[in-house]
Amino acid sequence: MAANVSEFLALIGDLLALIGTFFMLVAALGVLRLPDLFTRMHSSTKSATLGIGCVMLSAAFHFRDLGTVTQALAIIFFVFITAPVAAHLLGRAAYLSGVPLWEGTLSDELRGRYDEITHELTGYLSIPLPEERR
Amino acid sequence: MQLTLAFVMLTGAVFLAFIRLVRGPSLPDRVVALDLLASLSIGWIAIYAIATNQSIFLDVALVLALLAFLGTVGFAYYIAKGAMSWRQT
């Protein structure tokens, strides 16, 4: 009975490792193939974070002792906290430094709303919304 | 067998991210590729820890996650600062 449970948990671990690495491969493919910095960032952040979560759960299912499981959960928690923060900082810096958007972009609601010198969000009451969102 | 397939997929992912790191038309593109390479390395270390049955390698993954976050934040800070001085002149 105990051997069956152990094999089942090992099977779940292997399956989670494959799922996680598949999501990481998808993230790398998106970073290579998507047309724009911000779409690339969307692929990299979300999919790679999910891949790290699955791989760390796989490690937790493989080792199954208290220290390792706690450590794997701590890594998952840390990555899930820091990845959106890093992506937000990098996206804001890239938008402010004038990285071009994809030519098929439908709406850019931040255009003209940043102060050019101080980089503060100004004039968001005086500038009307773009045409398509009115 | 499953771990070999995982290693192959991670190698392909590292290769694709490295192409974006070389080709990236702007600096933030390269930073995104570098951040993804750090994430892929974390996954690689976890799979390697499973393959060699050594749970001590997960410490390396934790430290690498911390350093990758600090590096990305530093890059973003200096990209924003550079944009600011570039706009003023």
ipTM (interface pTM): 0.88
The Cα–Cα gap between B50 and B58 comes to 10
Residues A32-46 have pLDDT tens digits of 999 999 999 999 999
Q: Number of folded domains in chain A?
A: 1
Q: Would you state the pLDDT for residue B86?
A: 45
Range of the domain at A88: 2-99
Q: Would you state the pLDDT for residue A134?
A: 47
Residues B6-56 have pLDDT tens digits of 999 999 999 999 999 999 788 899 999 999 999 999 999 999 999 999 999
Q: Is the pLDDT of residue B89 over 80?
A: no
Please check whether residue A13 touches B, CB under 8 A. yes
Which residues of chain A fall short of a pLDDT of 50? Answer: 134
Residue A118 lies in a domain: no
Residue A12 lies in a domain: yes
Residue A90 lies in a domain: yes
Please check whether residue B45 touches A, CB under 8 A. no
The beta-carbon neighbor of A89 closest among B2, B58, B73 is B73
A44: number of CA atoms within 13 Å, CB side?
36
- Which residue in chain A has the smallest CA separation from B79? A93
Total number of residues shown for chain A: 134
Q: Is the dihedral of CA A36, A89, B13, A48 positive or negative?
A: negative
The Cα–Cα gap between A46 and B64 comes to 18
Please check whether residue A21 touches B, CB under 8 A. yes
Q: Would you state the pLDDT for residue B81?
A: 83
Residues B67-84 have pLDDT tens digits of 999 999 999 999 888 765
Residue A44 lies in a domain: yes
Find tokens 């050594």 and name the residue. B54
Helix, strand, or coil (residue A114): strand
Under 8 Å between Cβ of A20 and A55: yes
DSSP state of A65: S
Q: Is this prediction's pTM over 0.90?
A: no
Report the mean per-residue pLDDT for chain A.
86
Residue A130 lies in a domain: no
